Chains A and B, each alone.
Chain A
């Protein structure tokens, strides 16, 4: 495990100068994941903020081979790339010969929550089931931010988005989030984890573990979005931390079927602490909002208790 000083001295594989917003969670996630790989990396990205923000022709932020083809198919695209690698390696026709097996090229697909939980779920499920050797990283900012903050199945209950606005009758999104991490665990993936960019050591460790495994692995990473959360750019990392201190975003991993919680806050903070810093929840702090906040808190508490029950256990 590199120290922060050592990390700072490493070559960046995702360069600055891109057009992602100030305070966006995506760039630190991508930088940390890319340098967790020990060997060469090939990456794909679903259509979304990361793609449009990092590659406006003729510019690119990617110092590793990178490809984007469409929105719903990052996992299918990486399947094809990884399959070509296998075939060309077998035939001795790879353009760059691997030095050794642990220097095999690693394949990483990035997608936002829209491209992962919603439109890309089928392709992701297929690729996980087929067992391709790749890591899928979801940066979850809780809505379709690239198209202007529309609700996705990752949008938290109570959140106002441009397609689930807080109106006089309907108070923002009325449904709970889909738990994609558990869906990925159900695919019997050898390694599934949740991480957050504020805890860079944990994120890097999890990415490195996922990439050393020969098989389909999945990382779900909290990604603050000042634009869509109506929060201050300088609060992003603090908001990421609060999401774990409130247990809204538990940090845990399921390694070869064994669930392990990576972070247990000494004192679990009330969800209101996290909600109140984000404009998307501001209607919940007006009269009538308490019930919704209570509902969110109850859901978080139930989920956290379940995780604590499973901690250290073989869950599949």
Chain B
């Protein structure tokens, strides 16, 4: 049934990738440099149809590798254009060198990252090894539980990246196949609303300003290199405020407000799961089942992973007695996944911190079920009861 209350917005059933292609069309970037890779391919396929039909004015550059895709985005962004791309897995890994250059040159490039496992063994299905491998590359990372969130995040990413206090690239992550290829009903904003929200991008020192020639990408020796990194570090730390501001503005305009983290039934929870992206949805269902039995279980889902919302995490987990952090990527440190390590570090300064354990789940597309979530909550109640964690880190389901 049509929703008559929201006159400007319309509901539509789209896959995650279609929604991302549509958001890109509505943003109408100046340059889009792309290379196909499963499962992100349909984002660029559908965008190419918008180009072919004249629905966008974008210069569409079908490069010969992801390394060149990011290199061309870097050139286009430095030139003064708004540049976008999309990739997954090995593609993101091939971009690795250029990711650091994009952020180090302070270029507000936007990338859709459709999360997929990394080889070997080769696997096209979802996990977060790709974007977690890029977590220290200086990109802001937004994670998306649903098609709606991924769609909404892309518009916000543009505003965050181009804010003068930030000027950093942003990647919007969504789960391969689970979100990218599943059809969900979502609320769309209109083309005019999208354009008005993201605004025009005017670079302050575009390379194309031939009247005021600038040299970009110079060699910095030990006397200056660290200063560049220091200001870059300050900028990404300060971007938290901008993420909050932009999330509020988005909420004001379109009724869906976003923060740095999202919680579900966490306020009075005794035990909690911390988890990223689509698996948070599965966890919500398990929570409803357990809450119906009177068990106080909750969820914390970071939306922002870089920069990491340490303070918000501590605040949200106050009063929780035991936490399990679920990672869809291993960092091969011998001490749990990347999210586990971030959360555990964040909680260190808490007066009365919860017990915390980590589990690796869902690698290479292995299903994460409500039964898995229920089993985790049961294990957490055991920890609360005994005051002891038997196994700090482990793989779940293998």
Given the contacts A67-B216, A126-B64, A57 and B71 also touching, CB distance less than 8 Å: no
A96 partner residues in chain B, CB cutoff 8 A: 208-211
- A57 surroundings in chain B (CB, below 8 A): 218-221, 224
Task: Tell me whether B208 and A85 are in contact (CB under 8 A).
Answer: yes
Tell me, in angstroms, the Cα distance from A78 to B272 when the chains sit together.
50
Interface membership of A62, Cβ < 8 A = yes
Task: Please state if B81 and A69 are interface contacts (CB–CB under 8 Å).
Answer: no
A206 shortest CB reach to chain B, Å: 23
**Contacts between the two chains (Cβ within 8 Å), count:** 177
Whether B217 is near chain A, meaning CB under 8 Å from some CB there, is yes
Q: How near does chain B come to A59, taking the closest CB pair, in angstroms?
A: 8
A-side interface size class: 35 or more
Q: Is the CB of A80 within 8 A of B33?
A: yes
Given contacts A84-B31, A96-B208, contact A62 B213 (CB under 8 A): yes
Q: How close is A43's CB to chain B, nearest CB, in angstroms?
A: 10
| B61→A79 contact, CB < 8 A | yes
Interface string of B49-72 (1 = CB under 8 A from A): 000000001110111110110011
Closest chain A residue to B35 by CB distance?
A126
B329 at the interface (CB under 8 A from A): no
A73 with B207: in contact, given A65-B213, A79-B61, A80-B61 (CB under 8 Å)? no
Among B31, B59, B64, B101, which residue has its beta carbon within 8 angstroms of that of A70?
Answer: B101
Q: Which of A87-95, A173-181, A193-201, A248-256 contacts B (4 or more CB under 8 A)?
A: A87-95
Write the nearest CB–CB distance from B78 to chain A, whole angstroms: 6
Q: How far is the CA of A72 from the CA of B33 in the complex (A)?
A: 17
Number of B interface residues in the complex (CB < 8 A): 47
Whether the Cβ atoms of A88 and B30 lie closer than 8 Å is: yes
What A residues does B220 contact at CB under 8 A?
57
- Bitwise, B68-98 to A at CB < 8 A (1) or not (0) is 1001111111111101000000000000011
In the complex, B206 has a CB within 8 A of chain A = yes
* Most B Cβ at <10 Å: residue of A57, A62, A87, A129: A87
Alpha-carbon distance A42/B78, docked complex (angstroms): 12
CB-CB nearest in chain B for A62: B215
Contact between chains at A84 and B68 (CB < 8 Å) = no
Say yes or no: is A204 at the interface (Cβ < 8 Å to chain B): no
Q: Contacts A51-B219, A79-B75, A80-B83: A63 and B33 contacting too (C-beta < 8 A)?
A: no
B105 at the interface (CB under 8 A from A): yes
Question: Contact check: which of B63, B101, B202 meets A69 at CB < 8 Å?
Answer: B101
Contact with A along B172-210 (1 / 0, CB 8 A): 000000000000000000000000000010100011111
Contact among A85, A91, A125 for B79, CB-based, below 8 A: A85
Distance to closest chain A CB from B235 (angstroms): 18
Chain A residues lying within 8 Å of B208, measured Cβ to Cβ, are 42, 65, 81, 84-85, 88, 94-96, 105
Q: Note all chain A residues with C-beta closer than 8 A to B30.
A: 83-84, 87-88, 91
State whether A80 and B74 are in contact (beta carbons under 8 Å apart), knowing that A56-B221, A70-B98, A122-B64 are contacts in the complex.
yes
Contacts of A105 in B (CB 8 A): 208, 210
CB distance from A131 to the nearest CB of B (A): 11
Query: With A68-B217, A80-B31, A87-B30 as given contacts, are A42 and B210 in contact (CB-CB < 8 Å)?
Result: yes
Q: Are B57 and A80 in contact (CB under 8 A)?
A: no
- Inside 8 A of A68's CB, which chain B residues have their CB? 216-218
List of A residues within 8 angstroms of B61 by Cβ = 79-80, 83, 130
Is the CB–CB distance between B75 and A78 below 8 Å?
yes
Most chain B CB atoms below 10 A, which of A64, A76, A90: A76
- With known contacts A57-B218, A84-B31, A95-B80, A122–B213 Cβ distance under 8 A: no
B231 within 8 A of A: no
Report Cα–Cα, A84/B71, bound state, in Å: 13
Q: Quick one: given A63-B213, A87-B58, are A80 and B97 in contact (CB under 8 Å)? A: no
Q: B75 contacts which of A52, A72, A80 (Cβ < 8 Å)?
A: A80
7 pairs, A vs B, C-beta closer than 8 Å: A59-B218, A62-B213, A73-B71, A81-B75, A81-B79, A96-B211, A126-B65
Chain B residues at the A interface, C-beta cutoff of 8 Å: 30-31, 33, 57-59, 61-65, 67-68, 71-81, 83, 97-98, 101, 105, 200, 202, 206-211, 213-221, 224
Interface residues in chain A, defined as those with a beta carbon under 8 Å from any beta carbon in chain B: 40-42, 44, 51-52, 55-60, 62-70, 72-73, 76-88, 90-91, 93-96, 105, 122-123, 125-127, 129-130
5 A-B pairs with the lowest CB-CB distances in the bound complex, closest first: A80-B75, A126-B64, A84-B81, A80-B72, A84-B79
